[in-house]
Structure 1
């Protein structure tokens, strides 16, 4: 296994220290959600969850009784049996919090729409406090939108677009620009009474098609007003004009359930990433699925939904209402290019709101690998970086290479034939599977790079092929190239770079600067040359450049090694360096190819 830095072994015990633990209870319309999270400084950005659970108690359903006289659902107080059921689950959670030693001051109960509008809201909240001793914080409508937006911001390194949070009783609409730790959004999110449970009731009691159309017209009217009031950030408008539409970020159980349906119908099957956060779909696929679902499920559709991954019976009943909402809101929103599904909601938003700007701006993928950090990871990242030409996609420079450097030796203790497979699955069902804040493409890309870092040979190639389809042919090629470079670097430095401990100024992992083909980035060309020269002390250095040949863009990689040094002259090292050139061979490329030429140089 990896040889961790001195601070890493203590993380496992430190992260569960009571001072870092925070417990959140989200009393929502569709259920009650419980979580215990560690905000240890090393990993606070990704909000690591130590415990999570959900009680399927619907406050919305409990408050609405069907009247045969009026053929409508009449709102009533939260019934005593429902209050008892909730307090019982809270007493259970109190036992769990005690076991974790969560400080009382770090336990927060949050209530939203269903509690806020309940006729006996005050009595309900008092009953909870009397039973468990914890006060209930009731979020105002505007604050619920803000906190939900922070939950979405926590879900990715960057969020730029329109955001929606669909609860049981209401839905919030806003816009957001979140990057580099800074967050801008609408002054106040618009809250509309079109939650998944509320719309389900509305459609179930509609007496005819005219009533359904009246509901649709009301939704469109309210969304048109909401959009007009948002005053979308000019930066987003310019971005949308340039890219052909806005990105729409969707949160909330109703939207996530719809996302799992899209995931089940994705062209890549079985879909390789079993996590909803970070799943994206084009507008046309989103609309096509919504159009296929009527206001009532047919018997065939009910049977089909019963077997879908992560679609509960309750979520299945709400699918027509969610599809109905989608069909109507897309007629009112500005042009939408694609949709992205988010796990972050009220719980994540409450935690994210406590983080400093410095913590927020950290990249989730890099943060998630810090606890497995290799010796000299910062320097290893810069060595690999020197093998990347100007044309390298940004995600590799800024996210994948720093994370890869942290994990360069993590799978070394696994039998040789299993290392590539372990790396391939590491980001989906391995240790990074539970990390909050990653897109599916980031997960797939790092998994493919780790697989290639260990030679790329796996017993069953179907999973790798599906990950390659998720990222596309071009990014799959870059994953093989970066992985091959990492394999060579790992051969030259088989146990990291000794003497490079945490705190050494040369070892900090920061987003890497893009360099042009002369080797310089934001610094001068001479500083770039000085940097490469300094790496000669570490036995090997790379210099990569793009070169045009017969209408194609090829890659030339210059490898400079110390003459007669056994660490770079050993046969296994030479083979690893030869394998870099093989990445560009025609037989190893599908759909996208860059020919790679490796040039050797030696220095005294």
Structure 2
């Protein structure tokens, strides 16, 4: 373990959590009203960037108006490009006026309402007239992003949805697609010095283009035209990659690991991600989480375009995939096939992001010191117990440090941020009955109190959920057992075993300190853990030796030692071979637990 679990809570956060919050006028200065006028729809949102939760971009209001500025620019009968019609402009102005009323109700200052427009507005025949009409009708100016800037903002939106990332980033809207590379570490973000490369390959634009290539042609002629267009797209992406100046560190890693990680945003890719989720949930392994942000797919599944096209054609209902998105699926599949061919060294995995232009605009406001904060810790800090740091240190002392003589170690994937968030939420569900506390804790990261947190991977959601469920004794009604097993399938057997062990440590700590308060001058217990090889009755087992030390006193009216010994079985059972992950031949280790009396002060 070493220093891997060095966590401290920002005093400013404690100040805010304690209830000394911002005055209402100050709070209003942290509110942001944003309009993202995309090609397929117009998105409205109000976010609160006030501390201490700035990093997770909390949303107070969100809505989407189904106005396709891209489709509006084509005559429905002839397919000829036309100016944005007046009725559409009037509908946009009406939606903006309604949003201004909502912003006023929420207290958003007028100077913090911003409209962002992208490809469909940028390329409209009557773009200038359209923007002028909005100004006259609403009094608001529209920020028209250049295509390179659109890609940069989109990449920042992707960065907002993860702690640290390195790879290629793409945004697929209705009218255009952008590609760049992105490195985000400790709050510092690096992008290609060339910005991003943008192509008119958005989901709606590509759908229309492929239809035009095949219209009025024989099958052979249509296939040849599409093949030629595919070659053109591949050449354009190869050229873009060559000019992006991808850092050698990313290239070498892609060579070692059989491809680049691809970070994807925009409605076109999100639709593809929801199709993958549908396949995993209906035809696969009952995938447990339905949030698109943080969902990942390996190369084989991401590039299996035939399966996803078939699902889009035949499935009756697909969660979060509209009829318009279904129509665009063959075009997105075409793009995915092009990317698989064009990107050197291939695609190792695809990570789907909720963040886009809206989140990118907000994220660029944040200082690196805010960006580097972990989203999960920020989201859970409001639940922190009074002695959060002391409880954290006690819990960490029950996790053995890496062995100097062997490869034994606590899995790095259960990060300090996950452990810190576990401590901060250790008492959240304690007021519930035994019938519901384990279930509520298990669902807390996917549909409960932490489900809306922006920037948490599905695997971290699973780790925290399993930790919390074990903290509440791990007792579930039969209908929830399948969900728990599905969460476990997102992790390795080793990770699952450790969530059981650490969760049980949390259970015992909560019993010793039910109010979450530790008098550090007079601690009730001291905890230690080390690797051992002489465990069991025959002294032939390897595993953990855990010692709970209590202050040696002449009289112990609270009977702390006896009370503690009564509960030690919950940790001991984790090490029983029959409870190993995968059965007696699965992953696990023996755990020897003792309670001793000694001078600990």
For residues 225 and 491 of structure 1, do their structure 2 counterparts lie closer, same or farther at Cα, with a shift above 3 Å needed? same
2:174 is paired with a residue whose SS is coil
Q: State yes or no: 1:129 paired with 2:168.
A: no
CA shift, 1:209, in A, is 1.3
| Deviates further, 386-395 or 170-179 | 386-395
CA deviations over 1:113-152 (Å, ceiling 9, x no partner): 1111111111111111111111101111111111000000
Contact 2:390 2:518 in 1 (8 A): no
Separation in 1 of the partners of 2:493 and 2:170?
Answer: 32
Q: 1:594 to 1:36 in 2, by over 3 A?
A: same
The CA distance in 2 between the partners of 1:561 and 1:422, in whole Å, is 33
Q: 1:8 aligns with which of 4, 9, 17?
A: 17
1:22 matches 2:32:
yes
Q: What does 1:168-567 correspond to in 2, within 5 Å?
A: 168-187=174-193, 188-207=195-214, 208-266=222-280, 269-288=285-304, 290-292=305-307, 301-304=312-315, 306-334=316-344, 335-389=346-400, 390=402, 391-459=409-477, 460-497=480-517, 537-547=522-532, 554-563=543-552
**Aligned-partner Cα distance in 1 for 2:573–2:442:** 20
SS of equivalent to 1:417: coil
TM-score by length of structure 1 reads 0.88
Instruction: Using the TM superposition, give the Cα deviation of residue 537 of structure 1 relative to its aligned residue in structure 2, in angstroms.
Output: 3.5
Structure 2 distance, partners of 1:238, 1:567, is 61
- Deviation of 1:583 after TM superposition, in Å, equals 1.0
Deviations 1:39-86 (A, max 9, x none): 111000000111101011111111122675xxxx43221111111111
CA–CA distance in 1 between the matches of 2:54 and 2:511? 33
Give the whole-Å Cα distance in 1 for the aligned partners of 2:183 and 2:542: 35
- Give the deviation of 1:572 after TM superposition: 4.9
Structure-2 residue corresponding to 1:515? none
Q: CA deviation at 1:214?
A: 1.8
* CA drift at 1:235: 2.2
Q: Structure 1 residue 13: deviation in Å?
A: 7.9
Rounded to whole Å, the distance in 1 between the matches of 2:460 and 2:307 is 31
Contact 1:220 1:328 in 2 (8 A): yes
SS of the aligned residue for 1:325 comes to: helix
Sort the Cα spacing of 1:276 and 1:11 in 2 relative to 1 into closer, same or farther, 3 A. farther
Shift of 1:361: 0.5
> Larger deviation: 319-328 or 570-579?
570-579
What is the Cα deviation at residue 329 of structure 1?
Answer: 1.1
Distance of 1:88 and 1:372 partners within structure 2: 41
C-alpha distance 79-246 of structure 1, shift in aligned 2 (>3 A): same
Which aligned runs of 4 or more in structure 1 are off by greater than 6 angstroms?
A: 11-16, 549-552
Alignment partner, residue 513 of structure 1: none
Question: Match of 1:74, SS?
Answer: coil
Contact 1:169 1:195 in 2 (8 A): yes
Q: Cα gap change, 1:427/1:12 in structure 2, threshold over 3 Å: closer, same or farther?
A: farther
Deviations for 1:253-310, whole angstroms, at most 9, x for unmatched residues? 111111111111127543221200000111011112x13456xx7xx85331x41111
**Pairwise mapping of residues 101-140 of structure 1 onto structure 2 (< 5 A)?**
101-140=107-146
Q: Is the 8 A contact 2:115 2:141 kept in 1?
A: yes
Structure 1 residue 6, shift from structure 2 partner? 6.8
> Aligned with 1:330: secondary structure?
helix
Q: 1:470 to 1:536 in 2, by over 3 A?
A: farther
CA shift digits 1:217-273 (9 cap, x unpaired): 111111110111112112222332333322111111111111111111127543221
Write out aligned runs for 1:48-87 (5 A): 48-65=58-75, 68=78, 73-87=79-93
Q: In 1, Cα distance between the equivalents of 2:36 and 2:198?
A: 18
CA shift in 2, pair 1:382/1:130, >3 Å: same
After superposition, give the CA deviation of every residue in 1:200-222 in whole Å (9 maximum; x if it has no partner).
Answer: 10112222212211221111111
Structure 1 vs Structure 2 CA RMSD: 2.3
Q: Deviations along 1:478-510, whole A, 9 cap, x unmatched?
A: 1111100011111111111257xxxxxxxxxxx
Q: Distance in 2 between matches of 1:326 and 1:270?
A: 25
Mark the runs of 5 or more structure 2 residues left unpaired by the alignment.
1-12, 215-221, 403-408
Q: TM-score, normalised by structure 2?
A: 0.88
Checking the alignment, whether the CA contact within 8 Å between 1:385 and 1:397 is kept in structure 2 is no
- Aligned with 1:471: secondary structure? coil
CA shift in 2, pair 1:568/1:238, >3 Å: farther
